[in-house]
Amino acid sequence: MKAYQGNSRSITLWLSLVLGVMLLSGCFSKKPPEPPKPAKLELAVIAAADLNPDATGRASPLVVRIYALRSLTEFEKADFFALYEKDEQILAADLAKREEFVLKPGETITQPREYAPDVQFIAVMGAYRDVERSTWRASTKIAPGASGVLSLKAEQKALSVTVEDEAEKD
């Protein structure tokens, strides 16, 4: 009976040691990483006074689309008319968010925007009257958790988009 008690004690001691080591190792392990944060940007749109001139040179409104994308591949491959008519089908796998508005010559817009952490690019397109001689698309990369200004400029015959990320300045 004494041999059995010795084995029981050594098993109990061994299990206690293993359990203690496991508990201590849990205390020293790293915290799981925080999930990525959404990008929170202030959209600042500026339209030139001579925006999108018609045949007589008179400024005209411009249809603008903003896309939040996971990848730029399909956006950059598509021609204007395919993208304008079937953007949601063409960009389906990459598209996180789409918005469209009409921008008037000389207009400025400032509004907050939030983009999911998986969004890596903001792409824009404009339906210029003279699409063949216009820079009708532009894009910029954004980081998860970015905060700052998303600047969209609509010039006479060209779009541009940039992000000034305040988080990168720190």
Type of residue found at 85: E
Whether this prediction's pTM lies above 0.75 is answered by: yes
Strand pairing category for 39-47 and 147-154: parallel
pLDDT tens-place string over residues 60-87: 999 999 999 999 999 999 999 999 999 9
**Residue whose tokens read 């508990």:** 23
Please check whether the domain covering 39-169 is classified as CATH 2.40.110.10: no
Q: What is the mean pLDDT of residues 38-51?
A: 97
Residue of 116, 110, 108 lying closest to 142 (CA atoms): 116
The partner residues of 114 in beta bridges, in order of sequence, read: 40
129 pLDDT band, cuts 50/70/90, is: very high
Alpha carbon 35 to its chain centroid, in Å, reads 15
Per-residue confidence band for 40, with pLDDT thresholds at 50, 70 and 90: very high
Average per-residue pLDDT in the chain? 90
Where do the domains of the chain lie? 1-30, 39-169
For residue 91, give every residue at least 6 positions away whose Cβ sits within 8 Å of its Cβ, in sequence order, or none.
67, 69, 74, 75, 83, 98
pLDDT at 1: 47
